[in-house]
Amino acid sequence: MKRLICVLAILTVITSASLFADWYIPLDQVPAAVMATAKKTCPEAEVWMVEMEAYNVYEVKMSNFMELYIDVNGNLLGQMGPMGPYGTTNY
């Protein structure tokens, strides 16, 4: 009985952890407005990966190491560079 309870507890932890993971979106399924904003914001870079962070918010990872946060309508909500939030310096 103890073994069964341990197995059920482990399975519960494993399956519930995946509910909070980011969702990776195939590039051909990313909304056109999101891709257009990403290309307009960083025209010299390529889109490497897209994750759904929250409901209707996409994190777009670019080849220049920028991370763009764009909503489903194509509004740029924020951006993060390799040194922290864009426009700030970390000393």
For the stretch 8-59, pLDDT in tens is 667 666 655 455 556 888 999 999 999 999 999 999 999 999 999 888 899 9
Helix (H) or strand (E) holding 61: strand 57-62
Model pTM above 0.75 = no
Query: What is the distance of C-alpha 56 from the center of its chain?
Result: 11
Band of residue 2 on the pLDDT scale cut at 50, 70, 90: confident
Band of residue 71 on the pLDDT scale cut at 50, 70, 90: very high
Annotated domain spans of the chain: 22-85
Backbone phi, then psi, for 10, in 5-degree steps?
Answer: -65, -45
Q: Give me the CATH topology for the region 22-85.
A: Inhibitor of vertebrate lysozyme, Ivy (3.40.1420)
